Amino acid sequence: MSFDDIIDRRDTHCLKWDMMEKLYDVPQDKGLAMWVADMDFRPPQVVLDAVQAQVDHGVMGYFGDDSAYRAAIQWWMQTRHGWSLEADHIFTTHGLVNGTALCVDTFTKPGDGVVVFTPVYHAFAKVIKANGRRVVECEMTQDNGRYEMDFDAYDAQMDGSERMVILCSPHNPGGRVWSRAELQAVAAFAKRHELIIVSDEIHHDLVMPGHTHIPMTAIEGIEDRLVMMTATTKTFNIAGSHAGNVIIADPDLRAKFAARMMALGLSPNSFGLFMATAAYSPEGATWVDELVGYLDGNRQLFDTAINAIPGLKSMPLDATYLSWVNFEDTGMTREEFTQRVEKDACIAVNHGPTFGKGGDSWLRFNIATPRARIIEATERLAAAFGDLQ
């Protein structure tokens, strides 16, 4: 398979292409879907073969004996991230939005504050609010066009009702890979304010050449307050399998989480487990290496073209395939630049304000698509903002 292959996803019940007209009023026939975070690529053959084997067998009963699945997760985290973890620390949730919601529900009480560093993945705030907790938005600052965290300001913002901090590592949007010193600062902040740390590392495999992701488990002194979240779904483009891992080393936190999952009657979908087991393999690793090389090429092409349009500026991505573009220097209102992207260029994107404080002048573009579409998108944007040339 080549990442250049154009696969028509229209009329396949696919959120990204089949809902863009309804949600963004971008016509399905000529629109380009560059919003929600899934890729327009097939997963590696080893994953497709695992699903095919189930279809060929034909009996789709309950899943049993997940030891190979747990071993595959252990192998992946050890070989790709230098993280050694125990098999019985792993919980499988219905994806990581579900994992986040379960953490909020299990480890905090209604009315408690949950800290997020904004702009950040919008579903965090959604599930915090839906669970009757308060979103405490700690806005990031920018240094040289890259996001940074300002803990002096955040310390002053805390009022003692906060119980949890959700870290997005690598960060979506903005694509920061956090340094060890930054992760240590998050850890120290959590200790100062007695917060549980939920570290969502779903983008940890999609790291551009020259950068290295550090798992939060590598930071000392927070074992008793740390919840890790990982998944195969972003890495291998199998988000429809809705499987994610919540990994907890601390026995007390683990017991609480296990009890909550039991109370809610949660158990995983067998297809998610078959796919994840196949993906976390040497074949899967080779595919991810090729994928990241391709995404890096898309990123360079997209950034060069975007930054050549006066008034537009993309944030340099250390990781993820989600390009965060600032329209502030166009001098246009949010309505106007969004209208130009959606109506003139016919591109469906994520709107900045949904990511919280600091997102107003931004739009997020998903660049995990064949390169021909990146070229098409940048040509459309150059034309839509042509009067600024």
Ligand X SMILES: Cc1ncc(COP(=O)(O)O)c(C=O)c1O
Binding site for ligand X (CB under 6 A): 37, 95-97, 121, 168, 172, 200, 202, 231, 233, 239, 244
Alpha-carbon span 16 to 196, nearest angstrom:
33
| 320 DSSP assignment | S
Instruction: Select 172 or 298, whichever has its Cβ closest to ligand X.
Output: 172
Shortest distance (Å) from residue 243 CB to ligand X:
8
Contacting residues for 32 by C-beta, under 8 A, at least 6 apart: 26, 345, 346, 347, 348, 373, 376, 377, 380
Shortest distance (Å) from residue 233 CB to ligand X:
5
Instruction: Select 102 or 384, whichever has its Cβ closest to ligand X.
Output: 102
Classify the phi-psi angles of 166: left when phi > 0, otherwise alpha if psi is within -120 to 50, otherwise beta: beta
Residue nearest ligand X, CB atom distance: 95
Strand (E) or helix (H) holding 364: strand 362-366
Amino acid 258 reads A
Shortest distance (Å) from residue 209 CB to ligand X:
21
Instruction: Select 20 or 96, whichever has its Cβ closest to ligand X.
Output: 96
Instruction: Select 228 or 309, whichever has its Cβ closest to ligand X.
Output: 228
Q: Are strands 90-93 and 244-247 parallel, antiparallel or unpaired?
A: antiparallel
Whether 170 and 178 have beta carbons less than 8 Å apart is answered as: yes
Instruction: Select 355 or 385, whichever has its Cβ closest to ligand X.
Output: 355
Shortest distance (Å) from residue 272 CB to ligand X:
10
Instruction: Select 127 or 384, whichever has its Cβ closest to ligand X.
Output: 127
Strand (E) or helix (H) holding 334: helix 334-339
Shortest distance (Å) from residue 95 CB to ligand X:
3
Alpha-carbon span 230 to 174, nearest angstrom:
19
Instruction: Select 298 or 330, whichever has its Cβ closest to ligand X.
Output: 298
Alpha-carbon span 198 to 124, nearest angstrom:
11
Shortest distance (Å) from residue 38 CB to ligand X:
8
Shortest distance (Å) from residue 366 CB to ligand X:
9
Taking CA atoms, 294 is separated from 33, 88, 147, in Å, by 19, 35, 24
